[in-house]
Amino acid sequence: MRQPDNKLRLGMVGGGEGAFIGAVHRAAANLDGRIRLVCGNFSREPDNNQRTGASLGLTANRVYPDWPSMIRAEAALPESERMQALSIVTPNQLHVPITEAALDAGFHVFCEKPAGITLAEVTRLQRRLAASDRHYGLAHTYLGYPLVHQARHMVRNGKLGQIRKIYADYRQGWLAGGLEYSGNKQAGWRTDPSQAGASGCMADIGTHTFGLAEFVSGHKITRLCAELHSHIDGRQLDDDGSALFRTDGGASGVLTASQVCAGEENDLTLRIYGEHGGLEWHQMQPDTLVHRRANGDIHLLRAGTDREYLLPTTRHSLRLPAGHPEGYLEAMANLYRDFASAILDGTPCAIPGIDNGLRGMAFIDAMLRSGGHWTELEIPSTEPHTTGVKA
């Protein structure tokens, strides 16, 4: 039986006052009107937890003191009432434990990236999901941008010819100073190995450059030679790094992720070149895709529902005609919307999932192991999960 309002009932762990990404997930989930937040455990601090729940219009009995009790209690509710999927927006070290508990109780999961903090635990999770029918979405938000899909399909359709070079850069500046020593919550956990895992910058944004490079090129990065750096006294995790790499499709490239490029915002850029041309995309101007042809022609592709030169899949993930900018929230909303459709309507769930998460963990692992030497990505042999972009 279906809720009369035909909306996905979502629960959330994390995202209390002072957190950043939780509110972003909620806005993205709200945008298309197909998801309703029904319960949450937003903070380990009881006051924060209750305040957040109340401000979101939840009744007190569905604001839970901790995530195990939430999963237990929700599972005990009537099927037509209980949450159907759980959104996990906690620090990284909890991603796998909560996901596993949610799956145990039969819930679908939508998780902030990275999927976990070790390659081993994410491999375990992948295998488990591959054997289940639950959906698992991973918030690789940048892969929700319409023109990123357009780029991927142009590459697949041979517009660039054989791909040769891939450059993916993500430059931030917010950790150029020692923000973690000034009480900033975000900076605090992201630089703390016990919460963030063995990597800082690579886990936080390096995985975005990696994921974007693979998603658009359709290639798999097989080996890399990387150096990681840390620029603040006492900081235990990497805040910066770059790698030369090779792909299974015969391309090579460079990947950079840094959080100490003082003054930079979220300068994620992809440049990809084949025999016949190149594509350039900037996250900070996501509604333009630059297509250069070998003869020097430069074409600007623009996001917009009214742009017939865009592929149907691209236009499907747009809401507005060209020139009315859609941004980051809309990109994440695209992931949530397709996740909800998969559960409510049984459509295929072609959003980033655990298979992407597993490759991302293998990437982080290789970056940490490289130490300036060429290193293979070690991808455990697994079966693919149903959620996820298919080659």
Q: Which stretch binds its own copies (CB under 8 A): 115-123, 146-154, 205-213, 296-304?
A: 296-304
Given candidates 258, 317, 375, 387, which one binds its own copies under the rule CB under 8 A?
258
Contact flags string 78-117 toward its own copies, x per CB under 8 A: ----------------------------------------
Q: How far is Cα 324 from Cα 214, in angstroms, rounded to an integer?
A: 29
Nearer Cβ to its own copies, position 56 or 77? 56
Least distance (Å) between residue 319 CB and its own copies? 6
Q: How far is Cα 70 from Cα 54, in angstroms, rounded to an integer?
A: 16
Q: Which stretch binds its own copies (CB under 8 A): 41-49, 109-117, 149-157, 227-235?
A: 227-235
Least distance (Å) between residue 53 CB and its own copies? 11
Least distance (Å) between residue 330 CB and its own copies? 7
Nearer Cβ to its own copies, position 260 or 354? 260
Q: Does 124 bind its own copies (CB under 8 A)?
A: no
Site for its own copies in 261-290 (CB under 8 A): 261-267, 271, 273-278, 283-286
Q: Does 376 bind its own copies (CB under 8 A)?
A: no
Given candidates 299, 313, 347, 376, which one binds its own copies under the rule CB under 8 A?
299
Given candidates 231, 235, 316, 369, which one binds its own copies under the rule CB under 8 A?
231
Given candidates 68, 97, 106, 177, which one binds its own copies under the rule CB under 8 A?
177
Site for its own copies in 7-66 (CB under 8 A): 7, 20, 23-24, 26-27, 30-33, 37, 54-59
Nearer Cβ to its own copies, position 149 or 385? 149
Nearer Cβ to its own copies, position 132 or 341? 341
Nearer Cβ to its own copies, position 271 or 385? 271
